[in-house]
Structure formats: structure tokens, C-alpha cells
Structure 1
Amino acid sequence: MDKRQLQIFQTVARCGGFTKASKSLHMAQPAVSIAIKKLEQEFGLMLFDRSEKQIELTAEGRVLLGHADRILDQFHQAGMAMSELSGVVGGEVRLLTSAMLGSYLLPEQLASFRRDFPRVRVRVSSEGTQRAAEMIEAGEAELGVLHLDKVSPTLEARPFACQEVVVCVAEDDPLARYPSITFEQFVQRDLVVYEPGYYLRELLEQTARDQGQPLRIGLETNLLRLMLSLVRQGSGISICLRDVLEHEPGLVALSFDEPVYLNLGIGWHRKRYLSRAGRALLEHLCGGVEDSQLDD
């Protein structure tokens, strides 16, 4: 058994079939099948159940997949560590953030980071804070924007931004003449909100439960532009961050009578190796980060 065999096995398991795996690996399908057969012969075990149209891992295969994930992750981390001995910050870093933050709070900072570190490739993916935490824990990304009040014990986070959560209404909406409204007034209207898994959606649901107020959700989406457009056209009202509405004509921001703030941070895995590219981006977004905070 070698690294390449484990990579092929892992890809087949993730793709759920030899055809998809061969395309992902840029290999001929017979070569993928032969590699899996040799692995099964080496262990004397069936790793996949081939009785159905879509193959599935056997119990033994699931055990091997857990080991393969850990072994290949160690290979990846070792490669990153060795490549950085040259002293030049390069490579790739993946940052997870919501569409709202990625569109309005990050562009200038990411642009300046690219000017300072032109050899670093930054991959920015749209994910809610809950999903971002799960993906960092699983090793699918190095960094992510997290809600600082909900950081799991396996993650570390540095403060990034504090934003007021406001009600978003069209400028010709009857509510637009008020500087602030109560949550009770808010829930009396049809709402355009994020899908479950986003913190702003969780905030609404928790507040509604605490106050015994049902939510009148008319439409849910994770498409920020669609959400704002629907509010602008009078299809409902929503919530977002105050800074967002400063760039959106035709929309008005209203505070809640008891102002709500969202404390955001950039998070990473406590025990996983953070590449120099990841460290550089973290320091750029959050300020200086001591080595002891990253190496625990």
C-alpha cells in the first residue's frame, strides 16, 4: 500500500463510483478499478460493495477511509511545512466567509493582501459561520469567518469585525420613517431571510423563540443580491449588517430598539498546521498573531 493507492481509494469512496473517480483523478477507469482490486487483495478484504449501481463502502472500507483521510492529511501538512523552508511566502490558502461579508467587508483587505503577497493564491468560498467551522474542523479549509460567541473547543479565533445587525427595508416602506423598531414590529411583516446554517437566520429564530413570536418567512435564500433586490421591490423585509446598506441605494437600515451586534473573527484549527500563507492572511486581516497562538 502506498500514498497513490490511498488517494485513489479515497477518491472512489468520496465520488461513490469508479467513473466519477477516474475523471477526478484524470485516470482511465480500468486503472482505477485495478488499483482498488490490488488494495483489496493486499488486505484480503472487500472494501466496496459492488452489488448496487452505486458502489458503497463496506464496514472494512469505512475503517480504511478514516485512516486514509488522516494519513493523506499528514502528507499534505508535511509538504506544506517543507515547501516553506525556502522562506518565501507562497502557496495557497482557502478562506470561508458568508456572501455578505465577502462582498462588502473583505474586498479591499483581500486586494491589499494580494499586493503584499503576490505569490499566494487565495481561494474564497461562500459558507455560513456554522458550516465554515465544520469545514475547518474537517480540514477542508484553513481559515474561516466565525461568530466569536460560538467557537468550538477545537478551533481558535481572532477578532475581525464588530457589526450592527439592522432591519433592511425599502426606502418607500412605511417603516423607513422610524429610526428603530421592536422585534414584535419586525415579525409582523413578511420576511426575506437566509437559509438555515447562517448565523443571521439562527439569530432570528433564537430571538423569536425567546419572545414567543412566530416568524413569517416569505422567502429564504443564500443569494444576497436576490435578497436585497426582493426587499427593494417590496416583497418583504430582512436583516443584514449596517455597513452593507451604506452601499445599497433604495434601502434603509433600521436599528432594533435593543441594538444587536455581531462579533466576527477569523478562525483556524487549534491542532492543525497552519501554512505560512494562512498565517500571512490571518495577520493581514486581524493584525499580529503570536506564534504560540498558532502552534498550540
Structure 2
Amino acid sequence: MELRTLRIFVAVVRHGGFSQAAKHVFVTQSAVSKAVRQLEDELGLALIDRQVPGVQLTDAGRVVFARAQQLLAQRDDLMNELDELKGVRRGQLTLGLPPIGSDALFAPIFAAYRARYPEIEVSLFEHGSRKLEELVTAGELELGASLLPFNGAFDWQDVIAEPLDVILRDDHPLSDQEKIGLSELSGEAFILFDSGFALNPIILDGCREAGFQPNVAARSSQINFIVELVHAGLGIGFLPRLIASQRVRPGVRHITLKDQGMVWHMAFIWRRGGYLSFAAKAWLDLAAELRG
């Protein structure tokens, strides 16, 4: 069983098809199909159900996919550790950051990191926190930034913890309050982020604790658009206080939620027990240094 074949199989699953995987691993579609067939023949089991559209894994396919991700990640750990022994200090850092707050939190780290380690190339991927967790688990990212809580598969380093603010029009009946409880917002239309953003479960879980299911009027991945929708009267939005304070817009106010647990807690994550390259350690050390 070759690691190259496992990598192709993982690419087919992760990218949802043979043609998409071929673009990712830089081989032809027929080569991808042949590699998956060879893997199935070697194992004596079907890994993909070809009677249904898309990529539907069999029971054996799910087992092989999970194990293959682990093996490929361990291979990357091995190569990184050997590079360390050889004294390599150039290399590459694969880093995943969420769209929310990256400009405020991570731009200063990028600038300082580039100045201190000019020979290290940083490959940046932007996704919602839950997607980043998947990519770190699969070994496709060495470091990611995600919101707590997350599962025990990760080691982590704290970045920041900020309370959540509700964003509403300044003519809203609650706009003169210093703090607002979620129970006071049960009759409002909510404007949330797209699915995959880890901020959503924090808000929805808080609403359940407050005893109601919110009416979601709209979703977006763009902070400025959410603020504009609030200004247009479509509903109310939610942002970490740090981000809300940077999105000052005439006619819109942000007020901190007073409910316990309504906190935007960001951390850098990596696979628990996984090997960290010099580039990753340097990033974490610099981030801690700048945080003070």
C-alpha cells in the first residue's frame, strides 16, 4: 500500500469527485480512478459506492479514509522532524485563519513574522473555524485558528477572549441599554453568519439556554454586509466586541450581551501530539510575544 495511493483516495473524498481530486493532486482523472481501483483491489473491499451519485463511502471506505488521514499526517510529521535534524530553517508554514477578526488579530503577527523569518513561506487558507479543524485533523494545515470549545483532538494556544455584542439600529427600543440579555431579543429577527462559522453555535446555544429558538432572517459571510442589513432594518446581528468596535456605522449601535458564556474565545490549534515544525513553533512563540 503506497502513501501516494492513499493521498489520492483522500483527495477524492475531500474534494467530492475524481475530476476535482485530479486537479488537486496534479494527475489525470484516469490516473486517479486507476489508483482508487488499485487500492480497492489490494484491500479486497469496495471503498466507494459507485451506484449512487457523488462520492459515497462504504463502511470500509470510511475506515480507510480515517486511517489514511492519520498515516499521511504522520508522514508529514516525520519529514518535518527530519528537516529539523538537518537544520532546515526555511520551509513552509500552512496556516488556516477564519474570516472574522483576522485583519485585527493576525495582520500584525504576519508583518512581524515576515520581518523575522523572511525565508519561511506562509501558505494561508481562509475558512470557517469548523472547516479549519477538519483540515488540521487531516494534516492539510499545520496550524489553524478556531473558537473554543472544540474537541480534544487538538493542543492549543490562547489568542483572545472577547464578549459578544448585539448589533442593532440606534432607533431600536433597546438601543439605550448598557447591556442586553438574549431573552430580551426573543422576538427579533436574527442575521447570522453562514453555516460553518463557529460563532453561530455560540449564539444558538445561548438562545436555547434563554428558552427560545431564534427567527433567522438572513445569513452572510461578510461582516460589513451584516452591518448594512442591520442598518436597513432587516434584523439584529452579532459580532465580537473587538470587531464591532471597528465597524462603526452611523445609525447602528453595538451593545454587549450580558449572558454567561457569550464569549468569542479564539485559539491557535494543532493536532494533539503532532510534531510542530520550526516554522510553526516560531509563529506560536511570536504570537505569544506580541500578545504579551
TM range (shorter): 0.7 to 0.9
1:220 aligns to what? 219
- How many angstroms does 1:219 deviate by? 1.0
Percent of aligned pairs with the same residue?
26
CA contact (8 A) 1:173 1:234 kept: no
- How many angstroms does 1:271 deviate by? 1.5
Q: Which moved more, 1:11-20 or 1:259-268?
A: 11-20
1:275 aligns to what? 277
CA contact (8 A) 1:151 1:157 kept: no
Change (3 A) 1:86 1:172: farther
Structure with bigger gyration radius:
1
1:161 equivalenced with 2:163 (yes/no): no
AA aligned opposite 2:236? I
1:245 equivalenced with 2:244 (yes/no): yes
Give distance in 2, aligned partners of 1:126 and 1:221. 15
1:89 aligns to what? 89
TM-score where L is the length of structure 2: 0.80
AA aligned opposite 2:253? V
Q: Matches of residues 25-104 of structure 1 in structure 2 within 5 Å?
A: 25-36=25-36, 63-104=63-104
1:180 aligns to what? 179
Change (3 A) 1:117 1:10: same
1:256 aligns to what? 257
AA aligned opposite 1:160? V
CA contact (8 A) 1:193 1:217 kept: yes
AA aligned opposite 2:144? G
1:285 equivalenced with 2:287 (yes/no): yes
1:110 aligns to what? 110
Equivalenced residues, count = 287
Q: Which moved more, 1:194-203 or 1:61-70?
A: 61-70
- How many angstroms does 1:224 deviate by? 2.1
2:205 aligns to what? 206
Cα RMSD (Å)? 3.3
Which consecutive residues of structure 1, in runs of 5 or more, have no partner in the other structure? 289-296
1:7 aligns to what? 7
Q: Which moved more, 1:21-30 or 1:97-106?
A: 21-30
Give distance in 2, aligned partners of 1:95 and 1:244. 21
Q: Secondary structure at the match of 1:136?
A: helix
AA aligned opposite 1:177? D
Give distance in 2, aligned partners of 1:178 and 1:93. 45
Q: Secondary structure at the match of 1:156?
A: strand
AA aligned opposite 1:181? I
TM-score where L is the length of structure 1: 0.79
User: 1:166-187, CA deviations, whole angstroms, 9 ceiling, x for partnerless residues?
Assistant: 1112445454333333333333
AA aligned opposite 2:116? D
CA contact (8 A) 2:90 2:120 kept: yes
Change (3 A) 1:179 1:77: same
Give distance in 1, aligned partners of 2:170 and 2:158. 33
